[in-house]
Structure 1
């Protein structure tokens, strides 16, 4: 876990902190995302709060898991993916320099930001900590409530614009890696889902995949634009079990033992139906397994081969 170890070893107390509010991703869903950022002057108190959140988030991470389409982290882990496999470079380019023209000089520069980036600079090391914004950053929210504060045993109105600073970060970009704490936020901010859409389109055009089916249309309709099903479809392509003649032969011969009722035609091709699409996905992911100890059959969310 070198990236995590290096992050935890940073001299955070002496880090220079800059906060950027960012609008985007923008542009067509299938294209590389666009970002529009503004950096903000912050008080020492805000900088200290950002450092505290940074340190607190890192302290929770005890394990790093390789990012996968179906991999999930928990409260004590983070997913890791190389930055060059994402659009992180586009975001980094947008918040690279605190030039005057990009400084937030009016409140509208901050309202409706989709996320903010806390940039921590320690010598020649830079960490970008990213967090999707809460509702308080939206103009609609600001216009629909009145902020109050309590002092001297009474409530008073505070008409100044308010923004919410979270006590967590969604992901970190550091040293050519991305450490992900919130997978959904990461995929939304860096538009990772659009890559999955493109991958699924390519899968539908792959001759070996088409050859495994009588008609893939029911499966395509089942996946649709659902982010979970897109991940699964892309994982099916990565694993490539449909290209393995032996795997497909065993699927046809042994599926009933695992509770599947997938139909096959006379040539051994899968007959996809709305009723069996979920089973087909599980089968091609190899996500229905039998315990060698209890002999029970289980559905699993992800698989990691064990070297014996």
Structure 2
């Protein structure tokens, strides 16, 4: 029996942007996301996706009083690598903009080597900044393994390229250190990537049908926010940008008919049947945002199953309407 979107309450979790859900070998779903105050990292878990809505969050790390990790804690992701837990996140030393008019985020990593990542804040150790050759605005890191190699994908500002951020990939020496020089995979170039802000950010990777699909979010974080995609054959050199195909249209975007605006910053997980692929993302149900959209807390976590086209590409459909009572 196939799983339909009607089986899940949406939004699943309110006021949680940049959602990340990981199904671990212990049978639990682990969830983390940006909290509206941008001041800490929390994890919750449940045996079912629906159960995450009522699971108690556990704080695993708090921002520093001052310094590089003291402001605007964004977009944590929880990964399990070689028997240890890692969280990637972005943080800033200030809320002020730099000379390029950008926030001043850099990317960081924390590690937990006990079985239960929620046991205690004391179990998490800091590895500091994940450094890249460019010392500039960087965020939204994710990682994936291919052919025994750990890859790191993230968004970063190149001062010599117009726009806010591009997408980069590199091989990793270990979960907090790059091994190779970054390679740019994508920059904002299409109209749908450059509404208000020229943005490529929030990468996520899924491996199906002989290909790696890399989704990302584009444009400003209001109703213009949408998801684009790249793909590469799984037997190709993933560090060669020529092996990645960029789609010239968004693969997931606002649906005005059902008042679903700005879907983006997605991740992927699998349903309880361990077969059905699930798209995880945040979305709003209104466009009248007061002030900076970044500080509007009502980007809610949503989930929905998706299917695969005959040519092997994902078919995400449209953002499902809210269906909570």
**TM-score w.r.t. structure 1 length?**
0.20
Q: Which has the larger radius of gyration?
A: 1
Give the strand-richer structure, 1 or 2: 2
**TM-score w.r.t. structure 2 length?**
0.20
